[in-house]
Amino acid sequence: MLFKKMLRDMKINRTQFISIFIMAILSVLVLTGLHAEWYGMKVESDRYYAENRLPTLWMMGRNYSPEDVKRVEGLDKVQATSRRLTVDVETTLPNQPVLRLNVVEENTLSKPHVVDGDAFDIHQQGIWLDHTFADAQGLKVGDVLTIKAMGLESQQTIRGLIMHPEYVYNVKDESELLPHPESFGFAYLSRESLPQSLPLPFNQILILTESEKDSEAVKSELERLFTGNYTAILSREDHVSVAMMDNEIEQNKAVGEVFPVIFFLIAALAMLTTMTRMIASQRTQIGVLKALGYSKRKILFHYVSYGLWIGLAGGLIGLVAGPLIIPPILFTMQKSLYILPNWYAALSPVDGISVVLAVLCCGASCYFACRRELTEVPAAALRPRPPRAGRHTWLEKSAFWQRMGFNRQWNIRDILRSKLRSIMAAVGVTGSMTLLLCAFGLRDTVSGVSSRMYGELHTYESRIHLQEDISQDALKAIEERVEGQWIQESAIEIAANGKEKTATLTVLGEGTGIVYKDEKNRVVELPPKGIGLSYKMAQVLGIKMGDTLKWRIIGQEEWITSEVHTLYRTPMGQGITMTEEAYKDLGKTLVPTARLAYKAFDQEDGLTGIKNVRAKDDLIRSFNTMLESIQMMIFILILAAVILGVVVLYNLGVLSFTERVRELATLKVLGFFSREIRSLLRKQNIWLTCLGILLGIPGGYGIIDFILSTMSESIDMQTKVTWLTLVLCILITFVLSAGVNFMLSRRIKTIDMVSSLKAVE
Amino acid sequence: MGALIQFKNVTKEYAAGEVKIRALDEVSFEIEKGEFVVILGPSGAGKSTVLNLLGGMDTVTKGSIIIDDVDITGFNDDKLTAYRRNDVGFVFQFYNLIPTLTAYENVALIQEVVKNPLDVRSTLASVGLENRMHQFPTQLSGGEQQRVSIARAVCKNPKLLLCDEPTGALDSETGILILSLLQKMSREHGHTVVIVTHNAALAPAADRVIKMRSGKVSEQVRNPAPVRMEEVNW
């Protein structure tokens, strides 16, 4: 019988119940949706790495012999090893793309994943080609590809198209922001396809340790064992593709954890108030039930079940809908950057907990609301709760009070009388303001990186990357023909305060291609002696100006000790920067890896030794494409913030309206025009909205800061919100709030004076 | 120039679900300016409906209501509001004061809507509340709250003072006080007062008694020599 009562009560109070229902759905949906996205990517990439036996260490050198392999295998914790030749080769394809060719001794580690054609077999003739590269070049299985490798031109039949766990993020090196399948790809070639007479210099040993954790220990063993016989030893976190994927997952995780929590908090607060009011309105019925002889426990259970059912239904729908709706939207962008065999949303126990939380939230709010009413004796509960008294406030003692007029007096007292309702209204506004500001601000911040990086700091027009074996004559020719600045960029390791980090060394020749600024955005000059260190790297290492640190170029043995003379802030490329002069001071010469051209540079005839040219527009475009995946997520968040804002505000609005219907009817009878009453309510709404917005601004900034702090060590973003964005967020919040207020105040016209004033219930 | 209030064949129907309920059936009566009128009848006779129509809180189904030579039956929402605002004062059974405003502020509220209200302080004094002006409604007794409500209605200086069971929630002693206050107001300011009640004992104090039964006027009596409220035998 009580179940029937519950269903009817829900029908009568459907606005409130529907809004609680929506909030339960939304809060669980956003949480599980965002969660399932990154968790799915993590599960899949872990599975992919495990199945295809991605190494935990890569040792790069010149030519490793079977004896070298034996020595590696002799080490503790090493599970498997494999020799591989990896070399960049040219093809006869138009646009001269670079193809990274891999020849393996045996297919045991870092196995390719075939998506089309034959299974990869080292004993079969032919080439297995990167499928994105094949797509971009218009190649199919069965086509013949001509490659130029080791002074040898050979024709290879494409046997299959592949993906590879080392090329999830398919870029040539760190300097490339985005995969460019039209200019870079990879391929696996079977040993059989090459003349047996050709000696193969296996320049890599792939090592799988027993667990990823062991890789550091094994790495230092290798460094000791192979001193002078390696150029670099990479662990998974140093590997470009692996690191990019991990970064992406971490970023999504950070956003996916912060937003749902705010969502949950707001929804929980709103559910609490709604339920409290709902049950307060059932006061007399609780009295009746009590008088009829129902036990306290039974009544309590009855009302708690309202919340439990709604929470459970909403939570379960959210749990199912979240992973179905949100990940596919985000995956469309991710798919254009990352190459994984499968894309799916994955649920984790956390998602189940969120449903439990939603149920508990609803249940608990009912429980507390109901217990309050139950403490009264039935006789008292049968009578309606007396209206809450107005009180004189401290404000009235001030001289202003009498001059304030009825409108303000009424509003101030009304706000103070129903503090909870007023606070909730303000909190609802704060919540949507926070979410909006955070979402829009994040967009500003992220796109600010591109304008800071390529607008303020990197002032050159194009970047001409040089071949490693460029001749002195070719360098001279470029220096004469291209106005610009030499730059050397090398991968280094930095050690300080017991920490060791990989970073970038930038050595700059004479010129003005790059501007350096400190954290207060003042231009700084690089010192003629000592080094400049990037701000973020200094933070990570715990280093101040004037401290010393040790560093070395990867592949070289010599550790160099330098004093930090300058700190500069840069969004990307954390590490050490120094002038050619300071570099000379260390007894070294600048070996240019690129020339920064001050004017747009078109490939000219007669210049040799150029690897590729990147115009700044390309760099900016690449960067912006990368940001689109963030934009998508931001769009989802904005949408959710708007829905949440409307639901919370409408819900609270309905509550406060029904609570005050008698007062409003009185005003109507006294001859107040509807528009006057509306303006009265509007004023209160505006005050509370302003308060909510004021609180939401620091909230939004705080959350952006938090999200940025979880970003990877190589990226240094500064929270930046443009005035336009701030104004836009305030406007949207106002429109939401005013819109809800408008919808509600239309009801004033329909208040039936006769029945509202007749008697108390 | 007719009577101040003319009710002409007024019919009022409510739709309760699919059933139509006829609350008033061809009701006609007149009330002169300055009269103290009691509308008497058992519950459900349609007394309150008459009052609500008079006060512009509801609209008629058929017939016309003429107040001061103006037919208000055709008024739209705005005009009805303006009519309530300027011409009508209400006193309810449950007072309906704004709980967040003090007694003084509840009356001063009128200044927001009416151009020439009476002085708030002296109105409150005339109902005997000069010492409790700054209390909130919940701090006042039922009788005191009703007096605030009367002060609020009178302060408008309305053409019409409408009272719906003003003593319904009060004990008889307080009730008499309230009613004599209303009578006094009517005499002193020349207000036209209409009181709806089921208490037949009030009849001797009224200038005119309109008795109602089942939505119809069953009897109209003019009382040439009304007694003072205090002398009524309860």
A122-168, pLDDT tens digit by residue?
A: 888 889 999 999 998 899 999 998 888 767 788 889 999 999 999 99
CB contact under 8 A, B84 and A663: no
Phi, psi angles (nearest 5°) of residue A712: -70, 165
**Alpha-carbon distance B62 to A219, whole Å?**
98
Tokens of B8: 């002409």
pLDDT tens column, A40-89: 999 999 999 999 999 999 999 888 988 999 999 988 889 999 999 998 88
Whether residue B90 and residue A672 make contact (CB cut-off 8 A), yes or no, is: no
Name which residue leads in pLDDT, A225 or B44: A225
Neighbours of A749 (CB within 10 A): 12
Residue in chain B closest to A390 (alpha carbons) equals: B100
Backbone CA torsion sign across A335, A337, A340, A343: negative
Q: Which of B227, B222, B184 is nearest to B204 (CA)?
A: B227
Contact between A390 and B137 using a beta-carbon 8 Å cutoff: yes
List of chain A residues whose C-beta atoms are within 8 Å of the C-beta of residue B110: 670
Asked if A670's CB is within 8 angstroms of B109's CB, the reply is yes
pLDDT of residue A291: 75
Contact A390 B108 (CB under 8 A): no
* For the ranges A170-174, A191-195, A205-209, A350-354, the one whose mean pLDDT is highest: A205-209
**Which residue of B lies nearest to A386 if distances are taken between CA atoms?**
B138
The mean per-residue pLDDT over the stretch A645-654 comes to 78
Taking the model in full, what pTM does it have?
0.71
- The least confident of A152-156, A602-606, B102-106, B154-158 is A602-606
The shortest CB-CB distance from B90 to any of A390, A669, A673 is to A669
Which CB contacts under 8 angstroms, 24+ apart, belong to B117-126? B117/B155, B117/B156, B117/B157, B118/B154, B118/B155, B118/B156, B118/B157, B120/B155, B123/B151, B123/B154, B123/B155, B124/B148, B124/B151, B126/B151, B126/B154, B126/B185
Which residues of chain A approach chain B closer than 8 Å at the C-beta?
A: 386-392, 405-407, 409-410, 413-414, 417, 662-663, 665-674, 676, 749, 753-754, 757, 759-760
Bridge partners of A327, per DSSP, are none
Q: Which of A590, A596, A583 is nearest to A511 (CA)?
A: A596
> A408: which 2 tokens?
């303000």
**% of chain A at pLDDT higher than 90:** 14
Chain A positions touching B94 (Cβ under 8 A) are 757, 759-760
Residue B96 with chain A: CB contacts under 8 Å: 662, 665-666, 669, 757
Q: What is the pLDDT of residue A403?
A: 64
Of the listed ranges A275-279, A711-715, B209-213, the one predicted with least confidence: A711-715
Specify the pLDDT at position A45: 94
Q: Sketch the domain layout of chain A as residue ranges.
A: 1-56+243-386, 62-230, 418-447+617-761, 455-616
B31 contacts: CB under 8 Å, gap ≥ 6: B3, B4, B5, B37, B192, B194, B208
Work out how many CB contacts closer than 8 A connect A with B: 93
Q: What is the pLDDT of residues A370-394, one digit of tens each?
A: 777 777 666 666 655 555 555 666 6
Which residues from A are below 8 Å from B138, CB to CB?
386-387, 389-390
Q: Which domains does chain B have, with CATH numbers?
A: 5-96+157-231 (3.40.50.300)
The string of DSSP letters for A432-498 reads: HHHHHHHHHHHHHHHHHHHHIIIIIIB--SEEEEEPTT--HHHHHHHHHHS-EEEEEEEEEEEEETT
Percentage, residues of chain A above pLDDT 70: 92
Q: Give the tokens for residue A580.
A: 């050619």
Degrees to nearest 5, angle at CA A452 with A450 and A455: 90
Residues of A within 8 A of B100 (CB-CB) are 390, 410, 413-414, 417, 663
Query: Tell me, what's the pLDDT at A389?
Result: 57
Whole-number pLDDT of residue A175: 63
pLDDT band at A632 (very low <50, low <70, confident <90, very high): confident
pLDDT digits (tens, 9 = 90+) for B32-90: 888 888 898 888 788 888 888 888 888 888 888 888 888 888 888 888 888 888 888 88
Q: Mean pLDDT score of chain B, rounded to an integer?
A: 83
Which chain A residues are closer than 8 Å to B59 by Cβ? none
The mean pLDDT of A451-456, rounded to a whole number, is: 82
pLDDT tens figures, A513-529: 888 888 888 888 888 88
Residues A338 and A333: their CA atoms lie apart, in Å, by 9
* Closest CA–CA distance from residue A754 to any residue of chain B (Å): 7
Write the residue in B96, B100, B134 that is nearest to A757 by C-beta.
B96
Q: What is the pLDDT of residue A390?
A: 58
* ipTM tops 0.85: no
Chain A residues within an 8 Å CB radius of B52: 753-754
Interface test with B, best of A396, A670, A750, A761 (most B CBs within 10 A): A670
What is the C-alpha to C-alpha distance for residues A308 and A279, in angstroms, rounded to an integer? 14
**A564 to each of A443, A551, A574, how far by Cα in Å?**
33, 12, 14
Residues of B in contact with A672 (CB under 8 A): 81, 85, 112-113
Chain B residues inside the 8 Å CB shell of A683: none
Determine which of A391, A669, A748 to mutate to test the interface with B (most B C-beta atoms within 10 Å): A669
Residue to mutate among B21, B100, B133, B148, with most A CBs inside 10 A, is B100
How many separate helices (H) and strands (E) can be counted in chain B?
Answer: 7, 10
Q: What is the pLDDT of residue A761?
A: 37
Lowest mean pLDDT among A455-464, A489-498, B152-161, B164-173: B164-173
Which one is predicted more confidently, A615 or A60? A60
At a CB cut-off of 8 Å and minimum separation 6, what does A497 contact?
A541, A542, A543
Q: Are A595 and A607 in contact (CB under 8 A)?
A: no
- Partners of residue B86 in chain A, C-beta under 8 Å: 671
pLDDT confidence of residue A652:
76
With CA atoms as reference, the chain A residue closest to B84 would be A671
DSSP secondary structure of A47-100: HHHHHTT--SEEEE-S---HHHHHHHHTSTTEEEEEEEEEEEEEESSTT--EEE
A672/B112 Cβ within 8 A:
yes
Q: Do B96 and A391 touch (CB under 8 A)?
A: no
User: Nearest residue of B to residue A388 by CA position?
Assistant: B99
Cβ separation of A387 and B82 shorter than 8 Å?
no
Contact status, residue A579 vs residue A545, Cβ threshold 8 Å: no
User: Measured between beta carbons, which residues in chain A are less than 8 angstroms from residue B115?
Assistant: none
